[in-house]
Amino acid sequence: MPKEGTRARGSSPVGPRCIALVGPFQSGKTTLLEAILARTGAIARMGSADSGTSVGDSSKEARQHKMSVELSVASTTFMDESYTFIDCPGSVEFVHDMRAVLPACDAAVVVCEVDEKKVPQLQLILRELEDLKIPRFLFLNKIDKADTRIRDVLKVLQPASRVPLLLRQIPLWNGDIVTGFVDLARERAHIYRENAASEVVPLEGAAALQEKEARFSMLETLADHDDELMEQLLDDIPPPDDKVFDDLAKELRDGLVCPVLMGAASRTNGVLRLLKALRHEATGVEETARRLGAKTNGDALALVLKTAHTTHGGKTSLVRVLSGEVGDGVTLNAPDVEAGRVSGVFRLVGQTMEKRGPAQKGDTVALGKLEYAATGVTLSSGKQPHAALVTLKAPVPVLSIAIGARERKDDVKLGLALAKLADEDPALVVQHNAETHEVIVWGQGEMHLRVLTERLADRFGIAIDKHKPRVGYRESIRKPVVQRGRHKKQSGGHGQFGDVLLDIKPLPRGAGFIFKDEIKGGVVPGNYIPAVEEGVRDGLRHGPLGFPVVDVAVKLTDGSFHSVDSSDMAFRIAGRVGIVEALPNCTPVLLEPIHTVEIVCPSDATAKINAILSGRRGQILGFDTRADWSGWDVVRAMIPEAEIGDLIVEVRSATAGVGSFTTRFDHMAELSGKPAEQIVAAHRSVAA
């Protein structure tokens, strides 16, 4: 038996850890994952995303576009302890995958470059981590290419974080090249060795003076939350090493600081020091379960992080086990539905799935064939399902396409494929527009929807046609008209006869449709009047301009009937004939939907956003600073629905990829002149 407080070989005091690798787009997260796997012996040699040999970004779409479009998961062992690293996409179009994973992670490594342009992206990610209270390290990647003093870098990056960025290392320079680092906690200098452990060298000269100053600054920040350490600094008493490390770990776990490490993942520089910091300072599964409010009573408890539908293996669910044991054949329940029996437990290294024994507390594994387990669902083995640990909110969609199978025989296949892809990716929203008979798919941007269409072709073998969804145009009238509608037909036996007089008037915008019966003396029997209204509604479905007619009042004022030949159908046809013949004489006018739009953007992009909105016929309503977001604004405007289609493309271009918006319908507005004529002509050509 090992002594209390010591570790037995092969064991961990905190259990297997789950670490998220997050950060701005193209900051080097996938390369860092590759470096970690190479340094820990999980792979024989380090590949690269650019050459298509990396463990992460191994899907066809990721290889083709040279970017992360989904999670990459890999488990490994470091110093006899188990770790699962989850590489999360950095593009704002795929960041929803990160949101589903973060709650179950013990810590996050935020990978960032020395690039001022990426500060807004960094701020978005740090805000997520701060709100979820997840311990986080900042890993300054590509330090070998840096040409800026580290203190200047921190001044640029600090506005992205609500807590101090705590410098844990300073670079060693040889001329203009970073050749190593000084560990401020251990007060040791290290020279980088490519694809090998760094070499400890004497700390002397200018580097020693810089280290003293930087270390004191680090200790001052730690002392803000430790009175004992503050007294030691004031009395010029060097704090014991154990005290420093205890404070570093505690303030990391309490979310009071964000430690900053550095390296060059492509050379594996700084990776070993990062792994050691994670080992000694990151929390474990018990703290994560406590943060989530999990009630661990010995039953198996797990959180679904991601759902995938494989070609041959069916549905798999990536889960983090928070307590108990999950083995093959175990029945897991969810709050609303029985998830079913586990069919296989798998260890993941990228796309490779290796069958393994039961998963223990802390493990991150894939479970087979839990058909009803959706991303974000809480699974448990108890008789009563565990309460939901998280509530995932799908991101607001910002771009849509209308799609259809190129061959009609694939219609059913397309519906099933879309259901599977939406199950994998909750940020995809599939809608069926009953009016236009279009299948509309909403997503987070151009690339998000492009990946969808590529997967339909590659994974499901479905060729599709796509186009922009039709805008919800309407038409109305400006002029009142009185019109008779008459239907008379004699074809042997009983004929058909219906005769109505309609008083048609425009209504205010948004009033809809009003039908009134003002028949006197029974000239139209009461039992036929509902049929007249139905006929009028039929005629309003397609006005003279080709669109549904709204904001119209119709009064039935007179008419006649035949005791033998009149019927519901005859009066329905008469009502339709009357309204159809009247509308061209009512001065029809085209209406377009107007939406209220709120765009969130960095303040330095607000002027660009205003120009974009003005160029899209938008009416600027004003802007305010974004609440609790330093350096961000919220711009409000009214804009036609027709101009919203690809608005997100321009917004992202103007905001270095971080701007977004929400929209809601506000009102219908008249559109006249050449724009209206073009819309009507285009609609008629499609209808023809």
Residue of 16, 30, 135, 134 lying closest to 78 (CA atoms): 16
Residue of 258, 306, 213, 210 lying closest to 112 (CA atoms): 258
> Hey, what CATH class is 293-380 in?
mainly beta
Q: For domain 474-586, give the CATH number.
A: 3.30.230.10
Q: How confident is the model at residue 71 (pLDDT cuts 50, 70, 90)?
A: very high
DSSP annotation of 148 reads S
Q: How far is CA 549 from the centre of its chain?
A: 37
Task: List beta partners, residue 317.
Answer: 307, 367
Q: Rounded to 5 degrees, what angle do the CA atoms 188, 192, 196 make? A: 110
- Kindly report the backbone phi and psi dihedral angles of residue 143, in degrees, each rounded to the nearest multiple of 5, phi listed first: -65, -20
Q: Rounded to 5 degrees, what angle do the CA atoms 515, 518, 523 make? A: 120
Residue of 250, 160, 359, 283 lying closest to 292 (CA atoms): 283
Amino acid at 397: P
pLDDT attached to residue 348: 92
**Backbone Cα Rg of the chain:** 33
**CA terminus-to-terminus distance, the chain:** 84
CA distance 650 to 640: 16
pLDDT attached to residue 677: 95
Tokens linked to 562: 């035949």
Considering the four listed CATH numbers 3.30.70.380, 3.40.50.300, 3.90.550.10, 3.30.420.340, the one that applies to the domain covering 17-288 is 3.40.50.300
What confidence tens digit (pLDDT) does each residue in 352-386 have? 899 999 999 999 999 999 988 999 999 999 888 99
387 by DSSP, 3-state: which? coil
pLDDT at 494 > cutoff 90: no
Buried b (16+ CB within 10 A) or exposed e, 473-493: bbbbbeeebebebbbeeeeee
The residue-averaged pLDDT of 28-55 equals: 92
pLDDT attached to residue 408: 92
Per-residue H/E/C for 594-651: EEEEEEEEEHHHHHHHHHHHHHCCCEEEEEEECCCCCCEEEEEEEEEHHHCCCHHHHH
- Kindly report the backbone phi and psi dihedral angles of residue 288, in degrees, each rounded to the nearest multiple of 5, phi listed first: -65, -45
Please state the domain extents for the chain. Answer: 17-288, 293-380, 399-467, 474-586, 590-687
pLDDT at 1 > cutoff 80: no
pLDDT attached to residue 172: 93
Q: How confident is the model at residue 8 (pLDDT cuts 50, 70, 90)?
A: very low
Question: Is the CB of residue 118 less than 8 Å from the CB of residue 26?
Answer: no
Assess whether the region 399-467 and the region 590-687 belong to the same CATH fold. Answer: yes
The residue-averaged pLDDT of 384-389 equals: 93
What confidence tens digit (pLDDT) does each residue in 179-231 have? 999 999 999 999 998 888 889 999 998 899 999 999 999 999 999 999 999 99
Residue of 55, 85, 43 lying closest to 195 (CA atoms): 43
Considering the four listed CATH numbers 3.40.190.10, 3.40.50.150, 3.40.605.10, 3.30.70.240, the one that applies to the domain covering 590-687 is 3.30.70.240
The residue-averaged pLDDT of 392-408 equals: 94
Lowest-pLDDT range of 24-33, 89-98, 147-156 = 147-156
Q: For domain 399-467, give the CATH number.
A: 3.30.70.870
pLDDT attached to residue 3: 35
CA distance 213 to 232: 16
Mean pLDDT of the chain: 92
Residue of 294, 163, 286, 162 lying closest to 222 (CA atoms): 163
The residue-averaged pLDDT of 57-63 equals: 89
CA distance 380 to 336: 12
Tokens linked to 494: 């009983």
pLDDT attached to residue 13: 62
Q: How confident is the model at residue 492 (pLDDT cuts 50, 70, 90)?
A: low
pLDDT attached to residue 4: 32
pLDDT attached to residue 6: 35
The residue-averaged pLDDT of 158-166 equals: 94
Task: List beta partners, residue 306.
Answer: 318
What confidence tens digit (pLDDT) does each residue in 532-575 have? 999 999 999 999 999 999 999 999 999 999 988 999 999 999 99
Site of tokens 């995932």: 392
pLDDT attached to residue 286: 95
Tokens linked to 36: 């970690």
Tokens linked to 181: 């680092």
The DSSP secondary structure of 422-476, one letter per residue, reads: HHH-TT-EEEEETTTTEEEEEESSHHHHHHHHHHHHHTT---EEEEPPPP--EEE
Higher pLDDT, 398 or 4: 398
Question: What pTM does this model have?
Answer: 0.91
CA distance 305 to 101: 5
Q: How confident is the model at residue 271 (pLDDT cuts 50, 70, 90)?
A: very high
Question: Is the CB of residue 334 less than 8 Å from the CB of residue 372?
Answer: yes
- Kindly report the backbone phi and psi dihedral angles of residue 570, in degrees, each rounded to the nearest multiple of 5, phi listed first: -65, -40
Amino acid at 241: D
Q: 128 CB contacts (<8 Å, ≥6 apart)?
A: 98, 99, 102
Q: 419 CB contacts (<8 Å, ≥6 apart)?
A: 430
CA distance 67 to 525: 70
336 by DSSP, 3-state: which? coil
Higher pLDDT, 351 or 621: 621
pLDDT at 686 > cutoff 90: no
pLDDT attached to residue 314: 87
DSSP annotation of 163 reads S
Residue of 103, 97, 86 lying closest to 32 (CA atoms): 86
What share of the chain in percent tops pLDDT 70? 98
The DSSP secondary structure of 47-105, one letter per residue, reads: --TTTT--SSS-SHHHHHHTS--S-EEEEEEETTEEEEEEE---STTTTHHHHHHGGG-
Neighbour order of strands in the sheet with 429-433: 429-433, 438-443, 399-405, 464-467
Buried b (16+ CB within 10 A) or exposed e, 576-600: bbbbbbbbeebebbbbbbbbebebb
What share of the chain in percent tops pLDDT 90? 82
The residue-averaged pLDDT of 596-619 equals: 96
